[in-house]
Each structure stands twice: as C-alpha cells, then as structure tokens.
C-alpha cells in the first residue's frame, strides 16, 4: 500500500519510471533476458503473435486443457486453432498429439507450463526441430525453472507471464513478455502502446514536444506505474512466498497420496516447479458434484482448471481437433478438481482440506 501511495503522490501514475524499474528487476530475476511489461499475459501473447505475422491459413497448436486466453490471440489473428491432447500425468501438451499435428502442418505452438511445472524440453524440441516457432504461455510459471534456468523464453520466441490477482506474483492485473530477442523486446515496447514510437513518459523524460509516429498499428497494453509498484514489492518477497507455496504443495502431495480414490497432478514434480495450482483427479465413478458440494458446505472453495477448449462453443464450432483426438481432456474434464492453494493458506488448512476431501470421497463411495 505504501508503494502504491508513493506512486499516487509522485505526480506520475501512468506507465513510467516504476514500470521501467520493474522491468529491470524482472530481467535480473529471470537471468538477463529482455522483459517488457504488459497489462496482461493475454496482451503479451498477442504482441508475440502479432510480431510473427502469421500468413493467412496458419495453424496454431494449443493444448485443449487451458484457459481460453492461450488461444484467443491467435484466433483473433484469423489462424486456425489446432487443439492438442494432454499427457494425463502433467496436463501439458502430449508429445504424440504434437507430433501428429506437426506432420499435418503447424505455423506456431503455444504450450502451457500448466500449474507452474515447466513443459518438458523433449516436447519443446519436437517443435523446434520441425522449425515451428513457440510462444510459451507462462501464465502459471513465474518462479519456475528448468535445466536452462528460469522459464523466460530461452527456447522460444518469448514467454508470456501473468500477474493477474490469482498468480504467484501479482499486480492485480498485469503481465510481461520475456525474450532473448532484443528486436522483439523493442517491438513490444512500441506495440504495447498503439505502435507509437513515443509515449508520454519518454516525452517527459526527454523534454521533447513530439506526438511520435506509427509505422504499424499496435495494441493498448501498457502496465501503469501504480500496478508496477505493487509488482516490485511482490518481487522482493517472492522467494519466501514461493517457499511457503512449496511447503503447502508438498503437504498436499504427502496428504493426498494417503487418500484412496484421488491423485494429485502433475504427479511428478521437480525443484523448478512454481507450484501454482493444486489439481487433483478423482477416480472413475466418484461423483465430482457431490465432492464439490460437500467441500462447499464445509467452507472449502474449489475450482476447475480447466473446461477444455473444445467444450466451449466457439472452439467447438471453429477449432480443429488434432490428429490424436482429445480423449484425455474429455476424461479429465469430468474428474479434475482444483483445491485451494494461495499465499495466506497454512499447512493446517491443507490438512483440513485433505481431511474433508477424504470424508467426501468416502461418503460419495457409499451412495
């Protein structure tokens, strides 16, 4: 609150010095890549997709198990969305589904680091070796790392992070594009601001009187300083909050593994997992509605990450289903459930959730 108040009192509440500093600090944190802040992860994906100038008739592969935001920017660009099935243990793009889609022709892949677990290099390398560009949907993956270091667009065109209210690092609404490509970063700085090569802060800083020029129309996707200030504070305490998340996630792993009828996904985790979500899959035959109802009556809110895209009207009518079908997504759509996982939870809360989950499954089994 003090950081936001400082910005409000500074006389500059638009995009300016706080955003610049937040970008520098994020770049440092991510190990020296270029970072351009946006007002959402969706905007970061849009900017990366715009930059690729996909030709008419392009096909863009996305996992069907994701938020619509992964696919909407490419859909709006006029591309055909090719929906890919996921691996049932990670809920991330399945290698066989991707390989089949590549054989049929793909112009872009947008994989999702679901729940903060980095997508396997073997999957990314399938696309890379076929010359298919990749834009990483890293909405869940700020704080995630793999053998290359922090997830930050090192094997792709760019990674798009979300700083939405529910994310591990939040500015309320916000996001960032991370890339090793300096030209893309320069494009993004202009493109996030209508395509104008001069914004209010650069005018103020230089003292020039100039309205700037547009060579290519862009988006309106800048992050205001009041929100960047929140992100800077969040970044300072990020390591300790991630440690707390890891403790909670491990508590879920230990406890859920003792409950019959349910398993946690992603099953395999590693030190680089950002532990963004606690998703469980119920065994066949357990009525999820009953479990949700019981937990709700005990004051425990649950969610669903996600309704697969082909179950949503527009995608059902307009997207293409990849060559291996979407049977894993269809199956998990009836059985997945997201349990509470957030910074204010205590390990005793996790125990409480798990105890109620065990009772709910027991009751559902007896009906």
Interface contacts to ligand PLP, rule CB under 6 A: 40-42, 66-67, 69-70, 112, 137, 139-140, 162, 164, 175
Q: Residue 177, Cα to own-chain centre: how many angstroms?
A: 12
Phi, psi of 326 (to 5 degrees): -130, 40
Pick from 164, 107, 110, 119: which is nearest to 137 by CA?
A: 110
State the nearest-atom distance from the C-beta of 173 to ligand PLP, in Å. Answer: 7
Query: How does DSSP classify residue 210?
Result: -
| Paired tokens of 235 | 């970044």
- The DSSP bridge pattern shows strands 278-282 and 262-265 to be antiparallel
In the complex, the smallest distance separating the C-beta of residue 69 from ligand PLP, rounded to whole angstroms, is 3
Q: How far apart are CA 31 and CA 20, in angstroms?
A: 17
25 Cβ contact partners less than 8 Å away, ≥ 6 residues apart = 232, 235
Pairing verdict, β 262-265 and 175-179: unpaired
Minimum distance from residue 51 beta carbon to ligand PLP (Å): 17
Identity of the residue, 118 or 175, whose beta carbon is nearer to ligand PLP in the bound complex = 175
What count of Cα atoms within 13 Å lies in the side-chain half-sphere of residue 176?
31
Note if 167 is an active site residue. yes
- Catalytic one of 59, 117, 140, 167: 167
Distances 2 to 6, 7, 92, 225, 233 between C-alpha atoms, Å: 6, 9, 39, 13, 10
Phi/psi of residue 178, each to 5°? -115, 135
Shortest distance in whole angstroms from residue 136 CB to ligand PLP: 10
Closest approach, Cβ 177 to ligand PLP, in A, equals 12
Instruction: Report which DSSP code applies to 150.
Output: E
- Report how far Cα 116 is from the mean position of its chain's Cα atoms: 8
To ligand PLP, the closest distance from the beta carbon of 71 in angstroms equals: 9
In the complex with ligand PLP, the residue whose CB is nearer, 280 or 361, is: 280
- Could you give the residue numbers annotated as active site? 167
């Amino acid at each position: 609150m003090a950081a936001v108040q400082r910005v409000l009192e500074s006389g500059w509440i638009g995009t300016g010095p706080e955003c610049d500093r937040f970008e520098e600090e994020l770049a440092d944190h991510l190990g020296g890549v270029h970072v351009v802040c946006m007002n959402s992860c969706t905007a970061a994906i849009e900017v990366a997709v715009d930059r690729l100038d996909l030709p008419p008739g392009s096909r863009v592969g996305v996992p069907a198990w994701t938020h619509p935001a992964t696919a909407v920017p490419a859909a709006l660009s006029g591309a055909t969305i090719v929906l890919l099935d996921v691996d049932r243990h990670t809920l991330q793009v399945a290698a066989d589904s991707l390989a089949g889609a590549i054989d049929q022709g793909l112009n872009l892949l947008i994989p999702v680091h679901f729940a903060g677990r980095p997508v396997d290099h073997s999957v990314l390398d399938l696309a890379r070796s076929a010359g298919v560009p990749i834009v990483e949907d890293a909405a869940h993956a700020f704080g995630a790392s793999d053998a290359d270091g922090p997830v930050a667009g090192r094997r792709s065109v760019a990674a798009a992070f979300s700083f939405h209210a529910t994310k591990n690092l939040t500015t309320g609404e916000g996001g960032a594009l991370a890339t090793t490509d300096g030209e893309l970063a320069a494009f993004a700085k202009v493109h996030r601001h209508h395509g104008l090569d001069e914004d209010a802060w650069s005018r103020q800083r230089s003292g020039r009187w100039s309205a700037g020029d547009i060579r290519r129309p862009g988006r309106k996707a800048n992050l205001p300083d009041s929100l960047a200030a929140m992100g800077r504070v969040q970044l300072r305490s990020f390591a300790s909050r991630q440690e707390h998340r890891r403790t909670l996630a491990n508590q879920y792993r230990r406890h859920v593994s003792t409950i019959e009828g349910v398993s946690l996904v992603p099953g395999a985790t590693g030190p680089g997992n950002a532990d963004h979500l606690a998703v469980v899959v119920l065994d066949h035959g357990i009525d999820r509605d009953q479990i949700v109802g019981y937990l709700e009556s005990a004051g425990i809110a649950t969610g669903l990450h996600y309704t697969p895209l082909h179950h949503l009207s527009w995608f059902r009518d307009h997207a293409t289903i990849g060559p291996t079908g979407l049977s894993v997504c269809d199956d998990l759509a009836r059985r997945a459930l997201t349990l509470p996982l957030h910074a204010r939870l205590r390990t005793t809360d996790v125990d409480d959730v798990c105890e109620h989950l065990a009772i709910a499954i027991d009751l559902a089994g007896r009906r």
